Amino acid sequence: MNDAAAASPPARIVLARPDDWHLHLREGARLNSALAFSARQFARAIVMPNLPEPVTTAERLRRYRAEILAALPADSDFRPLMTLYLTDETTPHTIREAAADATACKWYPAGATTHSAKGVRDFRKLYPALEAMRDAGLPLLVHGETADADVDVFDREEFFLDNVLSRARADFPELKIVVEHISTQAAVRFVEENKNTAATVTAHHLLASRNDMLAGGIRPHYYCAPILKRRADMEALRAAATGASGKFFLGTDSAPHAICEKESPCGCAGVFSAPFALELYATVFEECGALHRLEKFASFNGPDFYGMPRNKTTITLEKTPQTIPETFSFGETEAVPFLAGKTIPWRLQ
């Protein structure tokens, strides 16, 4: 291969089928709309439990999984990986009951994000549940932000890692912890420095910074929790995701809301990236000159950390530009996808 050929990116990439290690599928008619986008691209997805009636029991978890499976097309082999929503009252018994059907448990600090009101208020009350999780081999997935009103919204992730998660991390060294949707340089460092600790990285935190959301106008479809940070944070996330470490993997945190819930005086947090998730990640990896690392990030690091098999089938991405539609139908309403109206260079075959 000559130098020119070596430098020019390939027109096609074939990857082991990827998984989405952080996804919001919603319920009812909205689930039907959201699920199709993910099932088309991913073999498995970690399904978030922050429903209006959160997934706090084994029975609720099985009911939600049945609803998801019923919404899949008959020929789909997509596998939802279920998570249990932790509260101050979650008992070791509940963990043991859910263990057969759950892949992990989710810690939402109460008030940190959408439908987190029933989440964790006093993390020390979680300790008996964390012991049971450690013993059952269930990873802890963390929304790593404080809900403390005195802490600046842009500092909430770093504050939580320094003052809360670092203590739980030290007290349960064998527990696998995934810091979800990391958004700061501080979080990259936390993950690198701690054993048994990994992170999901979203496409939107890799492609946008707070300037995209706030400079020259306020753009509600970029608003998410954790909120987009500085350009330097975005660059640190890019370096982590495209680097050699196995601790960072694909988790879209695709979180669709109806247009009217986003374009509102008090809009909901959530970026709807599921329709073109893989193409968005391919765009970032190409920009970073790291397409050769995409498969590791999207298809290998996640299952390796969770101790699950890598997928055997493949998907193909082609270098064919496509323009992202302005809206998609979303149950009884419509939702605006991330980068609506923009053209991206890759297309899933």
Write out the catalytic residue numbers.
Answer: 253
Q: In whole angstroms, how close is the CB of 315 to Zn ion at the nearest point?
A: 23
Q: Are 179 and 188 in contact (CB under 8 A)?
A: no
Beta carbon nearer to Zn ion, 22 or 79: 22
Return the H-helix or E-strand segment holding 141.
strand 140-142
Per-residue x/- track, 37-56, Zn ion (CB under 5 A): -----------x--------
List the one residue out of 11, 13, 21 whose CA is nearest residue 299: 21
Region from 68-76, 160-168, 214-222, 253-261 binding Zn ion, contact rule CB under 5 A: 253-261
Say whether residue 50 binds ligand DOR (CB under 6 A).
yes
Beta carbon nearer to ligand DOR, 114 or 185: 114
Say whether residue 187 binds ligand DOR (CB under 6 A).
no
Q: The tokens 């209006």 sit on which residue?
A: 52
Binding ligand DOR (rule: CB under 6 A), the pick from 269, 288, 290, 340 is 269
Say whether residue 113 binds ligand DOR (CB under 6 A).
yes
- Enter the tokens of residue 1: 């291969």
Alpha helices for 194-291 (secondary structure H)? 203-207, 210-214, 231-242, 259-262, 277-287
Burial of 182 per CB tally in 10 Å (0-12, 13-18, 19+): buried
Strand pairing report for 177-179 and 20-23: unpaired
Binding Zn ion (rule: CB under 5 A), the pick from 253, 279, 286, 295 is 253
Beta carbon nearer to ligand DOR, 140 or 268: 268
Beta carbon nearer to ligand DOR, 224 or 324: 224
Q: In whole angstroms, how close is the CB of 225 to Zn ion at the nearest point?
A: 8
- Enter the tokens of residue 316: 């193909």
